[in-house]
Structure formats: structure tokens, C-alpha cells
């Protein structure tokens, strides 16, 4: 607590964190305080003299009566003897100290305002109110601050020969000390782009520790490869290659255009073809590749041995459409922002894209993640029947799986989105994205063109009816959206009209993986065919969002071979869980809670005695037009309780 001590420059009282230094009390006040604060009997009872006593006992009797009156009348009198004593000390220092006048312009009363003096004189010193002590402390602090401010102003310049210091210390005062050195803080401007350049920030953005970064790279690049193949409408063939200090993933899509790569390297914007759309998609983060490019730099800078490499650089190679892009990620340490060096050379790859992330100083990190990396790679075939997958680790092939159904259909990236998947805020965001893009391209899109993008609204007749109902015929999208203020009323009318003139999407059209494919993957993982079970649930959420849940479960073959019997060996396989959403595999189990129950997949399996040590195999997949994640790393899905399951 703050206690009074001497001002280093004058005899004024200031506050420090040292032990309390109290000036000598006047004899009369000291006697009164000692009587009031005198403790009761040691047994704790309140035994006071009666009104017939005299002297100090009579004063104790008066204090006792005041205390009882306070309890009866519930008046907020101060009951703490310590606070009463300290309050009187403050009043003595500010009002009654006879030596205060001798200090001239540095005396306490010189720094009190008229209202403060009036309040201090009105305090009942024998029985103050609750809060008087605190208020007196504040007044004394303000007095000290005013005195110190005046002293700083007075000593700002060196005193001349004709200008002596304002007050020389007396014999009973300590010598003044030198003023403390003060730091004048200034506001620095730091680029937000540096959020991509530190381990802590990247861990926050990916919701994964450094040890799981190889899995993050695999998941994000694998998702992008599958999306690219489906957008190009080709059967996906993905190859995963891990070598000494690098991770590479290749696909057979159309490839990434050079202009798209240049926009990805602009860390001031977010680039995504799925950012504003509401549709079943593997991801709409928009900065996944940006974080991956920065990972190589961070790992080279903050090395495993604890050293900081000031000349760190992260290298990423992108081979696409006959061009080899070499991207060096560095940091401008003066401007505190990323510095990208982008060079291009011709290459032989004309089909698809191959992205290589170089981690030359993180071989131990790759080796640590090896088992989970291989498992995550192989798990993608559970939820993608049309996928052909090959995986190589340091020259040795660890997975080679052909597609079980190359013609399998799901809701693709090029399928029109449905107006029933939007609410007013999502549609406003979608409209704003179109208006901003049209402004950058110098284009003026009409509301009719915007309506034509939605499922079931491509006909001119239905478009005319919607425009007539909303009252926006022949109006540009920018004008309809609003120039200075968002046209929220018009957006609400447009959404309602589009929903009236279109039908909700049947959940089965999202893309059913199917029992046959999941059973094939179950058997390939070592499951027993007779124990395989498959369940499917589909329906709509309270917002009209369709969903499709598929669950496969069974025992590993080792569980049956270890039947409890004489001499039988225990099962050697542990539980295998494959989970994901919208045909993307989760690094962690994203089904941590099912609605408001507080129970998730792990606790549900534990209730049926399928804990982590049991030899069971299960796969849980959720397909939905709008999946809500609890973090930017998409590690946890938010599930609600308002889902319904009609007969669809």
C-alpha cells in the first residue's frame, strides 16, 4: 500500500511503497486515539465502563456508545481504529501541523483548494464516516502531485547564482536525491503482416503447435489439390512426397495461373475463390497458403537448437502451367514486414500443380510427425471414393490406392449455390464481395446477373418476377447494394423472393460416400467384415442448411483373434478414428461437443467401451452447406441442437 514519506526535494509528504513513516502525534490526539483503539478484553468480549466513570475510561465509554448507536441506526460510521488513527494523522499533516507555515510556498496548505479545506474541516475526527479515510488519502495524494509538479517546473532549468534552490534541507530532513530518469514512450507503427512471421502467431492462426505443422501443410495442400481437380472436373490423382527437408504435393488439375500466385504473395489481402460463397467446401480460410509460405521462414529463423537465424529464408517451389515459381520468404527488419522474392523459370509440368515446401533445418520435425503424417494421408481415401492416392516417404512408397468409384459425384465447386443457404448477413457479404470485385475490374453487374448465379433461378421468367417483387429491375448491383449506406431492407426482400421462387436442396445431393466404399476402406484398414456397421442421417438445421452424416464402425481383426481364452494373446491394435467434414480429414477430432450436451465423439465412444485402447475402427463424416468452426485452424466444429431429420 502507499504510505507517506518525505519528498526528496522538499520536506513535503509523498507516497512510497516503503514502511509507513508517521510524524509525531500531538499529545492530546495521541491520547484520544490510544483510548479509542484500546483493545477489549482478551476473551473477545466488549466490556466497557458505564457512564459514571471519568477520565480515559469515560472516553472509552463514549466510543462504545457511538459504536452501538451505529449498529442500531445502521449509520455508515468508520469502525476501524486503524483507519481512524491514520485519518487523524492525515488531517493533522494537512491542517494542524504548526511547522507547515514555516515551509512557505511548499507547505501543504498552499496546495489545498478551498473545497478540499472545507471538506477536511468538516470531518468528524472522533467518529468519521465510512469513506472519509479514503477521500482524505486522495486529497493528500493530489497535494503531493501538485507540489511535485511545481518542483519539476521549478528545477527544469539549472538554477543560477541569483536563484537558489527553493528549499534547503534542514538538519532533521534527508538530503535531496537526484531526480529519477524517466522514459518518454512513443507509439511505434508495426505492420500487421508480421503476424505471419513468428511461431506464436502462426500457431494461433493454424490452431496447431509447431510439432503438427507438417500435418497442417499436408491438409491444406491436399484440400487445395482436391478442390482444384473437382473444379477442373477431372478425377483427382494426388501424390504426396516427403524427402530430406521437404514436403511436396502434386495433382492433375488445370494448374494455378501466374496471376493467382502473384495475388497469393500479397500479404495485405486475402485471396480465396470460396471466401463469400455458402456451399459445401473443404475450406474457405483464404490465407492457408500464406501461412504455409511463412512456416518455412519461421522454422529456419527459430531453429530447433534454440538459435535465432537473422538471415532466415523460407523457400517454396510452385510448378504449374509450364512455369517454375521460386518464392523466397524473408523479412525486412527495418520496416518489420514480409519481403517476398519471386522468380520464375520454365519447367516441364504442364498438367496440374506441384508445390514443394522446403524445410532444410527441420528434418527432426518431419521425423516426429511421420506416423501421423502417413495416417492422415491415407485417411483421405475414406471420404473421397474418386481419389487415387500415392505417397512416398524418403523414396519408400507407403500408400498406393486406386479410386473405388472414379465417377463418384458430390456437390462440386462449380455447382450453383442455393439462396436457402444464406441469411441476410451472409447474402450481404456475398453482395459486397461482388460489388468490390466489379469495382476493381471496372465492371457494372446488374441485379439480374447476380440472381442468375443461384440454383433454380437461371430462367429469365423467374428472374423477372423476383426483380418486380423487389423493385430493382434494370438496376446495377452497386446501386442496389447502396453507395453510402447498405440497403438492408432491399437485401432482405431479395433474399425472401429468391427463396420463394426456388426449392431447398435435398441433403442427399451433397454427396453420399456410401456404405460400400466405407466398408472397402474398413477392410483395407484391417477390419472384420462381420462386425461392420453403417449409419446415415440427413436433414436440415434450423437455418435451413442441409446436412448429411455418415458413420461406419467395426472391430479390428486382431480383436477377434485375441478372444479371451487360455493362452490367447491380447489385441495389439488400438482404436482407429477417421473424422472429417466436407470430404476433408481433420488433423484432430473436430467433433469435440455434440450441441449443448457437452459430450463429443470421444466420450460417446467411451460410453460404449470403445476407448483409445480398444481395437475398433470408426469413421465419422459430416457434409453440410455451411460448417461453422470454432477457430481459424478448423480444428473444432460448432454443432447446434436445432437439426431436424425429415423423410428426405
The per-residue pLDDT for range 532-557, each reduced to its tens digit, is: 999 999 999 888 889 999 999 999 88
* Average pLDDT for 563-577: 57
For 272-305, b/e burial (b = at least 16 CB within 10 A) is beeebbbbbbbbbbbbbbbbbbbbbbbbbbbeee
Give 584-599 pLDDT, tens digit per residue: 998 888 887 776 666 7
Based on the number of CB atoms within 10 Å of its own CB, is 348 exposed (0-12), middle (13-18) or buried (19 or more)?
Answer: exposed
DSSP letter, residue 207: T
**Measured between alpha carbons, how far is 286 from 273 in angstroms, rounded to an integer?**
8
| Greater pLDDT, 389 or 4 | 389
Give 442-460 pLDDT, tens digit per residue: 888 899 999 999 999 999 9
Which of 112-126, 187-201, 486-500 is predicted most confidently? 486-500
* Model pTM above 0.85: no
Residue percentage of the chain with pLDDT more than 90: 35
Handedness of CA 332, 338, 344, 348 (dihedral sign): positive
Closest residue by Cα to residue 555 from 580, 577, 529, 579: 529
All three cell numbers of 190, joined, read 508495426
**Measured between alpha carbons, how far is 176 from 183 in angstroms, rounded to an integer?**
21
pLDDT of residue 349: 92
CA 569 to chain centre: 47
Give 326-379 pLDDT, tens digit per residue: 999 888 877 777 888 999 999 999 999 999 999 877 788 899 999 999 999 999
The pLDDT confidence band at residue 570, using thresholds 50, 70 and 90, is very low
pLDDT of residue 237: 96
pLDDT of residue 59: 67
Give 113-155 pLDDT, tens digit per residue: 888 888 888 888 888 888 888 888 888 888 888 888 888 887 7
The pLDDT confidence band at residue 488, using thresholds 50, 70 and 90, is very high
* Average pLDDT for 256-266: 85
All three cell numbers of 3, joined, read 504510505
| Residue 381 · residue 238 · CB < 8 Å | no
Based on the number of CB atoms within 10 Å of its own CB, is 112 exposed (0-12), middle (13-18) or buried (19 or more)?
Answer: buried
The pLDDT confidence band at residue 51, using thresholds 50, 70 and 90, is low
Please list the residues that pair with 400 across neighbouring strands: 390
**Measured between alpha carbons, how far is 121 from 119 in angstroms, rounded to an integer?**
5
pLDDT of residue 454: 93
pLDDT of residue 3: 40
Which of 178-187, 303-312, 436-445 comes out lowest in average pLDDT? 303-312
| Greater pLDDT, 411 or 55 | 411
pLDDT of residue 643: 55
DSSP H stretches of helix in 359-423: 363-368, 370-383
Give 65-104 pLDDT, tens digit per residue: 666 565 545 557 777 888 888 888 888 888 887 777 767 7
| Greater pLDDT, 18 or 76 | 76
| Greater pLDDT, 406 or 604 | 406
**Measured between alpha carbons, how far is 384 from 379 in angstroms, rounded to an integer?**
9
Amino acid at each position: 500500500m502507499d504510505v507517506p514519506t518525505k519528498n526528496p526535494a522538499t520536506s513535503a509528504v509523498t507516497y512510497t511503497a516503503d514502511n509507513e513513516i508517521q510524524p509525531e502525534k500531538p499529545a492530546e490526539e495521541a491520547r484520544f486515539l490510544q483510548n479509542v483503539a484500546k483493545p477489549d478484553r482478551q476473551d473477545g468480549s466488549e466490556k466497557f465502563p458505564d457512564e459514571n466513570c471519568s477520565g480515559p475510561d469515560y472516553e472509552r465509554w463514549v466510543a462504545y456508545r457511538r459504536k452501538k448507536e451505529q449498529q442500531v441506526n445502521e449509520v455508515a460510521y468508520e469502525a476501524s481504529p486503524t483507519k481512524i488513527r491514520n485519518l487523524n494523522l492525515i488531517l493533522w499533516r494537512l491542517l494542524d501541523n504548526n511547522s507547515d507555515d514555516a515551509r512557505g510556498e511548499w507547505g501543504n496548505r498552499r496546495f489545498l483548494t478551498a473545497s478540499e479545506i472545507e471538506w477536511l474541516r468538516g470531518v468528524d475526527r472522533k467518529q468519521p464516516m465510512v469513506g472519509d479515510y479514503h477521500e482524505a488519502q486522495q486529497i493528500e495524494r493530489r497535494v503531493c502531485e501538485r507540489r511535485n509538479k511545481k518542483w519539476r517546473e521549478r528545477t527544469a532549468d539549472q538554477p543560477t547564482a541569483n536563484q537558489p534552490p527553493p528549499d534547503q534541507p534542514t538538519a532533521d530532513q534527508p538530503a535531496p536525491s537526484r531526480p529519477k530518469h524517466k522514459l518518454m514512450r512513443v507509439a511505434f507503427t508495426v505492420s500487421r503482416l508480421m503476424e505471419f512471421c513468428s511461431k506464436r502467431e502462426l500457431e494461433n492462426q493454424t490452431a496447431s503447435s509447431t510439432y503438427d505443422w507438417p500435418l497442417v501443410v499436408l491438409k491444406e495442400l491436399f484440400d487445395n489439390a482436391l478442390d482444384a481437380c473437382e473444379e477442373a472436373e477431372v478425377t483427382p490423382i494426388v501424390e504426396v512426397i516427403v524427402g530430406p527437408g521437404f514436403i511436396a504435393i502434386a495433382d492433375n488439375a488445370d494448374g494455378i495461373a501466374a496471376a493467382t500466385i502473384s495475388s497469393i504473395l500479397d500479404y495485405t489481402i486475402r485471396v480465396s475463390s470460396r471466401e463469400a460463397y455458402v456451399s459445401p467446401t473443404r475450406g474457405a480460410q483464404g490465407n492457408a497458403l500464406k501461412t504455409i509460405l511463412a512456416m518455412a521462414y519461421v522454422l529456419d529463423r527459430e531453429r530447433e537448437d534454440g538459435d535465432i537465424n537473422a538471415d532466415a529464408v523460407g523457400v517454396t517451389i510452385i510448378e504449374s502451367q509450364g512455369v517454375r515459381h521460386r518464392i523466397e520468404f524473408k523479412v525486412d527488419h527495418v520496416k518489420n514486414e514480409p519481403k517476398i522474392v519471386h522468380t520464375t523459370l520454365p519447367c516441364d509440368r504442364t498438367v496440374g500443380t506441384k508445390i514443394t515446401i522446403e524445410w532444410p533445418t527441420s528434418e527432426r520435425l518431419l521425423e516426429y510427425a511421420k506416423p501421423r503424417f502417413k495416417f492422415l494421408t491415407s485417411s483421405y481415401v475414406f471420404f473421397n471414393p474418386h481419389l487415387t492416392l500415392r505417397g512416398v516417404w524418403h523414396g519408400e512408397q507407403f500408400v498406393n490406392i486406386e479410386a473405388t468409384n472414379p465417377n463418384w459425384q458430390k456437390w462440386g465447386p462449380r455447382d450453383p449455390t442455393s439462396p436457402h443457404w444464406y441469411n441476410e448477413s451472409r447474402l450481404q457479404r456475398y453482395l459486397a464481395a461482388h460489388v468490390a470485385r466489379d469495382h476493381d475490374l471496372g465492371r457494372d453487374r446488374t441485379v439480374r446477373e447476380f440472381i442468375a448465379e443461384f440454383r433454380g433461378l437461371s430462367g429469365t421468367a423467374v428472374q423477372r418476377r423476383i426483380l418486380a417483387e423487389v423493385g430493382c429491375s434494370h438496376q446495377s448491383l452497386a446501386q442496389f447494394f447502396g453507395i453510402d449506406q447498405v440497403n438492408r431492407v432491399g437485401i432482405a426482400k431479395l433474399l425472401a423472393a429468391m427463396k420463394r421462387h426456388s426449392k431447398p436442396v435435398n441433403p442427399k445431393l451433397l454427396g453420399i460416400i456410401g456404405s460400400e466404399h466405407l466398408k472397402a476402406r474398413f477392410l483395407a484398414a484391417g477390419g472384420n467384415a462381420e462386425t461392420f456397421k453403417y449409419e446415415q442421417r440427413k436433414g436440415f438445421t434450423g437455418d435451413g442448411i442441409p446436412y448429411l452424416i455418415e458413420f461406419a464402425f467395426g472391430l479390428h481383426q486382431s480383436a477377434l483373434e485375441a478372444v479371451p481364452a487360455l493362452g490367447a494373446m491380447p489385441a495389439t491394435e488400438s482404436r482407429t478414428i477417421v473424422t472429417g467434414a466436407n470430404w476433408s480429414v481433420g488433423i484432430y477430432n473436430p467433433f469435440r461437443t455434440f450441441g449443448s450436451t457437452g459430450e463429443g465423439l470421444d466420450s460417446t465412444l467411451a460410453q460404449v467401451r470403445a476407448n483409445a485402447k480398444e481395437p475398433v475402427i470408426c469413421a465419422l463424416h459430416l457434409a453440410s452447406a455451411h460448417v461453422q468452426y470454432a477457430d481459424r485452424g478448423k480444428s473444432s466444429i460448432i454443432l447446434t441442437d436445432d437439426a431436424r431429420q425429415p423423410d428426405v
